[in-house]
Structure 1
């Protein structure tokens, strides 16, 4: 077996940052991802020494050949279909998120020297969280209670990994953000999705670079058999209605986002799958929290540069357009209805088990 770290989904937001971090540490890195034009373009700008294997993880023979040829010491499994696309293509999402995870685990178990398996999960596994009734941050030992397709897939993938014969580590991620405006999609679907979340819902964000530090550390740290919660320091504990306007303002769009709706304090179901997280153990063993929320805002302002002024001028017009494209434009009701809004635009968000 080689000393390689195999990173599935290595051209995604978290994957790209994780590959960069592993390369900085001098690790031998192999990316396993789909052969697409965008990924081909990204491959031309990889750090020196990083290799790429074009593979469809839903194809078991192809995946088995790739793993046998690479012989990884560690697999960092990041490949997944996430919201909102997951609601539009549930069958494909199951094949990628659940079935391909089972396949990869089975192949890894069959290797002469089975690799460590670091699984990317999410705080979504705790299900919809009403902040008016759940005051404490979630912890690793809190039972999973998936309430939509995404949280169900993450919970099922976790169970597959945790029930395997491999040395495993599970990282449950909070809301991953980047100061690079090009790193996160800015399109009609993304804007609609952001507008449907209850503004008084609790969101625990984290800089994608810190997530990369966590994954890189988890490949060697003495954390086998642990579930670790990955989010930023306490400055990252925000209400959703404060978080997105602050980041938009840092890029020049102060006042450019229409105000959303609060969640129903009397309902435990009509909330999204986010909450604050207890990261004490994860920080103790992985030492990954390096960018505070305020650091991120300051860097976003610097990166925006002079373009902030042009965006400021356009903010009222942008707000008017976004208001008409928001999830609750001319929709009846007082409170946010995230699952109803998802159903109207993307498809049925209900779990598929």
Structure 2
């Protein structure tokens, strides 16, 4: 026995109902032919009119339930409609025409009892679904025509969306490259995050591994440094190859890292880019300063790994949203960092002067 559901006045699913109960709801006019119904095995909700023939609702609705007790038994035939007024003048000509053979009698759609009431089996399930109405055929045709599954079009399913939507790659357009100060602001934000999270995790993992290995202070320092480097590498490699191809700092500034022709970079290339920054650091940070003078704002590690840092809207369907200005977030970050640097220098000079004064009068 099938289990049925039908849509209420506010499009909410009501049920479950058996086939008998569904028919009784229809006969009692609680549901109509335009009511959406669904049962196990159906891929989407359908109007009751589409299933009326399978359920036997149309035969039941046409049966003469209010026939008189003495009426003759037999199939119910609707009355012949009267000819239209425009055809009254042609009746005599029709009588002169040769008689046509009578049409064959229609087969009764349902057996009738002696009282004139039609008898139906209300407890039967719908007839087998034709091949063209099978769920798998409907699903295959829907996906082939619209690219969307029938389950996705079900209005009673909860809304679903992918957790991660990567922007599509669009080449051959004007690109705004991230300047030196935008990259500095992003580095400041990432450095703050790494010092709080990755630094503490590196020390924790280093101490744990050192204790497991039974090493001393030197082993603890070595394992802590290695864990910190590994976490930093994973941080930059994972963020640059996933999400918006940017670390949290770059996302805050509105920039991202891509290949020189605009395509996303892989995890291995992002990992190699991180270790290439060591060369930019060993050159007295001249490798970083290259971003202020090269045509595509590339640092030394960008040139080595064939990457560029661009605006987040570059190589997308909306390149007009790119910004050449520094941006509010970058200005605020650089200003706060400048104040911290100045305050630190003032504090250093104050401590040095205080120490010199104490030594002189000591």
TM-score between both structures, scaled by the size of structure 2: 0.24
Structure having the larger proportion of residues in strand: 1
Higher relative contact order (CA closer than 8 Å, sequence separation 6+)? 1
Task: Choose 1 or 2 for highest CA Rg.
Answer: 2
TM-score between both structures, scaled by the size of structure 1: 0.24
